[in-house]
């Protein structure tokens, strides 16, 4: 059996040039519950689950694998938990009540209301980008698109969009010096330990949300901020200031980076697979299926974390109460026992039960229908155009083992 003890998934160098697919394959084959040490100043180490079915078991068992101790690698103390908890880090009845508050806005029927708006936005975005002939696909196409949709759902002006993008970049990119002035493990970040991502940008998002809440409280708006401030959770416990801050911030962050990177990765995969691009151009009716394959191949969220609440045995490993467990969605999406020829993009793959949004657990992505419609409409428009895009330089990836992100993607019209 090959030794996997040298593999450390805390080492960001592994992720510098995109996803370490071969490493994931090795772990799935030889070490399905793999231990990675962390720098003692950063964390106590973690178990990595890389097989599809194991990940599903973890996600579906919040009693044994809780989200309440937080869902990123960073270890937080009780004071930080109290200050920073959103619905993502809440389990049980309170989680259900908070989720219910928002879920009506994110059903497939609810998000279908945005179809006309999305078509217009996509057309304008692509017209502007393509007029430039040479451009960066991230900057011109994928970066602004999801946040513009969210801005519409929050009912905030277009002039605020760049601020929202900047804040999102800083928070999610808190391990990448190019994106964040305050890096997560820096001394400076200690000042921000009580806010999400230990990022000063989170305070700006809170202040921005407060101003929107002030304007909308007690009125009858239907935007997401109005829903948050004017509805009572079904458990009868009103939303605290902290609840509003952290859940508003979650909405700003969750839908922005993830959808952006899916669009960029999908374009890259299509360029690398011209037969698949040609098939979709010829048969656009396949695009809704293709979206599922785009999501599987992109896997923009590498992992989320859970924490064991009791000792539990998985394969040959005893996971101790309090241990961190990482569910590597990106690896589960390449599990060869689930997906035939998993490294191949096959836009007709069916079934395609990927775990890009999680799979079946209570925290399954709330925005999945919205992300799907955005990606579908983007590629329906892009692939209907009589153009060829070519790569015009190297792709730069985000230095992160949390988000599988593309920072730069230079392209030109062929």
* Interacting residue ranges for ligand HEM, rule: CB under 6 A: 59, 87-88, 99, 150, 250-251, 254-255, 258-259, 262, 300-301, 304, 329, 356-358, 361, 363-367, 370-371
Whether the Cβ atoms of residue 134 and residue 410 lie closer than 8 Å to each other = yes
Alpha carbon distance 178, 196 (integer Å): 19
If the CB atoms of residues 112 and 131 are measured against ligand HEM, the closer one turns out to be: 112
If the CB atoms of residues 371 and 395 are measured against ligand HEM, the closer one turns out to be: 371
Q: How far is the CB of 41 from ligand HEM (least distance, A)?
A: 27
If the CB atoms of residues 354 and 407 are measured against ligand HEM, the closer one turns out to be: 354
What DSSP assignment string belongs to 3-39? --TT--TT-GGGGTTS--HHHHHHHHHH-SEEEE---
Residue 411 φ then ψ, to 5°: -135, 160
Shortest-Cβ-distance residue relative to ligand HEM? 367
Closest alpha carbon to 66 in 31, 95, 37: 95
Q: How many CB atoms lie within 10 A of CB 18?
A: 15
Q: How far is the CB of 172 from ligand HEM (least distance, A)?
A: 12
If the CB atoms of residues 112 and 387 are measured against ligand HEM, the closer one turns out to be: 112
Q: How far is the CB of 308 from ligand HEM (least distance, A)?
A: 16
Q: How far is the CB of 367 from ligand HEM (least distance, A)?
A: 2
Residue at token pair 């098939």: 279
If the CB atoms of residues 57 and 182 are measured against ligand HEM, the closer one turns out to be: 57
Q: How far is the CB of 90 from ligand HEM (least distance, A)?
A: 7
Q: How far is the CB of 186 from ligand HEM (least distance, A)?
A: 27
CA dihedral sign of residues 163, 169, 175, 177: negative
List, in sequence order, the alpha helices (H) in 255-391. Answer: 257-272, 274-282, 287-298, 329-332, 368-384
Q: How far is the CB of 112 from ligand HEM (least distance, A)?
A: 14
Whether the Cβ atoms of residue 388 and residue 285 lie closer than 8 Å to each other = no
**257 alpha carbon, distance to own chain's centre:** 6
If the CB atoms of residues 263 and 277 are measured against ligand HEM, the closer one turns out to be: 263
| CA 369 to each of CA 132, 218, 372, 405: distance values in angstroms, whole numbers, following the listed order | 31, 29, 5, 21
Alpha carbon distance 312, 325 (integer Å): 11
If the CB atoms of residues 168 and 200 are measured against ligand HEM, the closer one turns out to be: 168
Across the strands, what pairs with 34?
Answer: 48
Q: How far is the CB of 290 from ligand HEM (least distance, A)?
A: 14
If the CB atoms of residues 196 and 361 are measured against ligand HEM, the closer one turns out to be: 361
* Tokens encoding 14: 């592994």
Strand, coil or helix: 90: coil
Q: How far is the CB of 372 from ligand HEM (least distance, A)?
A: 8
Q: How far is the CB of 354 from ligand HEM (least distance, A)?
A: 10
- Full 3-state SS string of 291-329: HHHHHHHHCCECEEEEEECCCEEECCEEECCCCEEEEEH
Closest alpha carbon to 410 in 135, 129, 145: 135
CA dihedral sign of residues 179, 185, 191, 195: positive
């Amino acid at each position: 059996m090959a030794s996997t003890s040298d593999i450390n998934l805390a080492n960001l160098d592994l992720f510098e040039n995109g996803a370490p697919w071969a490493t994931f394959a090795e772990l799935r084959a030889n070490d399905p519950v793999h231990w990675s040490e962390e720098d003692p100043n950063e964390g106590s180490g973690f178990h990595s689950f890389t097989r599809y079915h194991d990940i599903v078991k973890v996600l579906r068992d919040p009693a044994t694998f809780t989200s309440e101790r937080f869902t990123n690698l960073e270890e937080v103390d009780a004071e930080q938990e109290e200050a920073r908890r959103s619905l993502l880090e809440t389990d049980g009845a309170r989680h259900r009540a908070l989720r219910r508050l928002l879920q009506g806005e994110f059903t497939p029927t609810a998000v279908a209301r945005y179809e006309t708006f999305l078509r217009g936005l996509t057309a304008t975005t692509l017209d502007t980008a393509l007029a430039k002939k040479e451009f960066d696909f991230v900057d011109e196409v994928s970066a602004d698109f999801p946040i513009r949709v969210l801005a519409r759902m929050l009912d905030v002006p277009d002039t605020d969009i760049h601020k929202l993008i900047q804040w999102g970049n800083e928070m999610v990119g808190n391990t990448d010096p190019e994106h964040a002035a305050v890096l997560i493990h820096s001394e400076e970040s200690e000042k921000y330990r009580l806010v999400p991502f230990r990022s000063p940008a989170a305070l700006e998002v809170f202040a921005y949300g407060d101003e929107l809440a002030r304007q909308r409280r007690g009125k009858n708006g239907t935007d997401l901020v109005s829903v948050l401030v004017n509805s009572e959770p079904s458990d009868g416990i009103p939303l605290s200031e902290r609840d509003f801050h952290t859940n508003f911030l979650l909405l700003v962050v969750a839908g922005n980076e993830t959808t952006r990177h899916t669009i960029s990765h999908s374009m890259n995969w299509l360029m690398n697979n011209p037969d698949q691009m040609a098939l979709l151009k010829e048969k656009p009716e396949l695009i809704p299926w293709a979206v599922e394959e785009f999501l599987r191949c992109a896997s923009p969220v590498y992992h989320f974390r859970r924490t064991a609440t009791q000792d539990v045995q998985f394969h040959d490993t005893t996971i101790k109460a309090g241990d961190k467990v990482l569910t590597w969605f990106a690896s589960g999406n390449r599990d060869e026992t689930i997906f035939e020829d998993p490294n191949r993009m096959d836009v007709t793959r069916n079934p395609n039960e990927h775990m890009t949004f999680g799979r079946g657990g209570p925290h399954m992505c709330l925005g999945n229908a919205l992300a799907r419609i955005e990606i579908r409409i983007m590629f329906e428009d892009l692939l209907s155009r009589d153009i060829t895009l070519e790569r015009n330089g190297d792709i730069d990836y985000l230095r992160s083992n949390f988000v599988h992100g593309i920072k730069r993607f230079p392209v030109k019209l062929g």
